[in-house]
Amino acid sequence: MRVLVPLAQGFEELEAVTVIDLLRRAGIEVIVAGLSEGPVKSSHGVAILPDTTLEAVQDQDFEMVVLPGGLPGAQHLEEDPRIREILRRHAERGAYTAAICAAPKVLASAGLLDGHQATCYPGCVKPEDFPRLSLVDQPVVVDGQVVTGRGPGTALDFALALIEALAGRERRDAVEGALLRTR
């Protein structure tokens, strides 16, 4: 099982690192790819060194592509034609596409949220711009092969939903249990 997490300058570090960490704890191979070579700085100045570049993996297949939010990171993802092509190709073959915070707009712009329910950070996706999308006020929404999350505060729930989608409820419960999370 392989998951691609592309990182753009200005990504939201809580969303990216939580997804990367929890999926790896679940035994899922996560490939972190920068839009260009070198470290990628988050929206709060934290630098992450990706595993590789997007160029090196853009033609590979993954079971899921996960877009972290944050601004201007999500904007950079939306403006990169390689991201749009990767998302469309993976959606066409039935792979999961996932985005959190401001990044669901990237999925919406690529037409991947048409006819789906989704959530995002308030105001990032305007319903009038995407009339075939049903926005809901929930922390995480799983609709078919599309998973969306609301924002940094929902990153843990979002990552656990990704694990469940890819590896099942038992694996999700094992990862969550080891976190000693209280509700």
Tokens of 79: 């403006």
Give CA–CA dist 64/147, Å, rounded.
Answer: 10
Contacts of 122-125 with C-beta under 8 Å, sequence gap 24+, read 124/69, 124/74
Confidence of residue 182 (pLDDT cuts 50, 70, 90): confident
| Res 111: pLDDT | 95
| Res 127: pLDDT | 87
Q: Which of 66, 101, 107, 133 is catalytic?
A: 101
Output the pTM of the full model: 0.97
The second-level CATH assignment, the architecture, of 2-178 is 3-Layer(aba) Sandwich (3.40)
- Domain extents for the chain? 2-178
Is 101 tagged catalytic? yes
- The pLDDT tens digits for 10-52 are 999 999 999 999 999 999 999 999 999 999 999 999 999 999 9
Radius of gyration over every alpha carbon of the chain, rounded to an integer in angstroms: 15
Q: Token match 């009339």: residue?
A: 131
| Res 15: pLDDT | 98
- 3-class SS at 117? strand
The answer to whether the bond into 139 is cis (omega within 30° of 0) is no
Cβ neighbours of residue 32 under 8 Å, at least 6 residues apart?
A: 5, 7, 16, 20, 48, 50, 51, 52
Exposed/middle/buried for residue 88 (C-beta within 10 Å: 0-12, 13-18, 19+): middle
pLDDT of 152 > 90? The answer is yes
Q: To 10 degrees, the CA torsion angle through 141, 178, 181, 171?
A: 20
pLDDT of 183 > 80? The answer is no
